[in-house]
Amino acid sequence: MADSRNVLTPDALTMMDVIARTGSFAAAARELGKVPSSLTYSVRQLEDALDVLLFDRRSRQARLTAAGEELLNEGRRLLDQMDAVANRVKRVATGWETQLSIAVDGVVSRLTMFELCEAFYALNPQCPAAHGSGAELPATLGNPGTRLRLRTEVMAGTWEHLINGQADLAIGVGTDRGAPTGVQMKELGTMAFVLAVAPHHPLAAAATPISDAELLRHRAVAVADSALRLTPLTVNLLPGQDVLTVSSMQLKIEALLRCMGCGFVPLPMVREHIAAGRLVAKPVQRVGRPAALGYAWRTPVANAPGAARKPQLGLALSWWLEQLESPTTRSALIERQGQAPTAGM
């Protein structure tokens, strides 16, 4: 039997990730530029080395066993850590990160995020104004060469990806959670939420303010927290209430427009729908406060070995933090909820 340490390579972990993501050996083989039989052989090598079954052979699809799920989850974490090591090495050498991962809560303006990305890609790394330093940097054409990786998360999931090292910067985190060691946080702003329903929903004609007892009689539409390890957050749902759960705030708004339930949504995201009469905002008896949002980033621990010799922040992250210092940018990330590019994040 092969040594498990020798078969648990980055290539093998990447292969597992692609098979799980595409759902079949054939699709994974096409993406990886291999033949299906090669992947089947590699998976069997993994299974022999670990003495476990990773895929359910009774299924036509590439369905993971419990052991396969664990290997996939831990493998993704290890790949992220490998990327982080390479990123730190590159940053020490040049000041620019190889990759900058940004976790963005689903309520943050996608339009503003894309415009920030466009401005970042337009940077000239040899121009001191681009990074706030007079030091000349290695020549790069067009932009610093830092790859951006954006991922949309929900509530505690945004924090989770920062804390576990999958993100270097998180935008739209709740400020009620204390920042752990190695993470700094600043305020982004507040976002007002309103109870919204379609014009033909029963609550649209109900007397206001609406009580929790009245809300309980109607299906709620909720967005699932994307956290896997942190305790998921549940907001504005009543015990025993019927719930339709979706994966994003955009899908929640779509469900509300289709009169599939009622729900609390960010006012900036539905202001146009309310003005056009597609949704109705209803006052409620429950005392609600605007959600306090912030942004947080990973930074080396001050007393870590060798910390004094290493750049405290990469130049790419420093650029993003400089943009977030602008009140105009922070306001746009919350309030400017217009049409975003159709490709999404």
> Regarding predicted confidence, which is higher, 159 or 295?
295
Nearest to 338, CA basis, from 279, 271, 266, 255: 271
Select the more confidently predicted residue: 198 or 164.
Answer: 198
d(CA 187, CA 95): 26
pLDDT of res. 96: 82
Q: Which domains does the chain have, with CATH numbers?
A: 4-73 (1.10.10.10), 95-190+292-335 (3.40.190.10), 193-289 (3.40.190.290)
**343 and 114 in contact (C-beta within 8 Å)?**
no
Asked if pLDDT for residue 327 goes beyond 90, the answer is yes
pLDDT at 3: 65
What backbone phi and psi angles, to 5 degrees, belong to 10? Answer: -55, -40
- Full-model pTM: 0.67
Under the banding of pLDDT at 50, 70 and 90, the label for residue 135 is very low
Higher-scoring residue by pLDDT: 128, 122: 122
Residue 277: pLDDT over 90: yes
Res. 304: pLDDT tops 50: no
Which of 13-22, 272-281, 307-316, 336-345 shows the lowest per-residue confidence on average (mean pLDDT)?
336-345
Q: Report pLDDT for 1.
A: 43
Q: What pLDDT is recorded for position 244? A: 93
Which pLDDT score, from 0 to 100, does residue 203 have? 95
pLDDT for 61-100, tens place per residue? 778 888 988 988 888 888 877 877 776 676 656 678 888 9
Q: Decide if pLDDT at 209 tops 90.
A: yes
How do residues 169-189 score in pLDDT, each as one tens digit?
A: 999 998 877 777 788 999 999
Least confident of 123-127, 143-147, 187-191, 238-242: 123-127
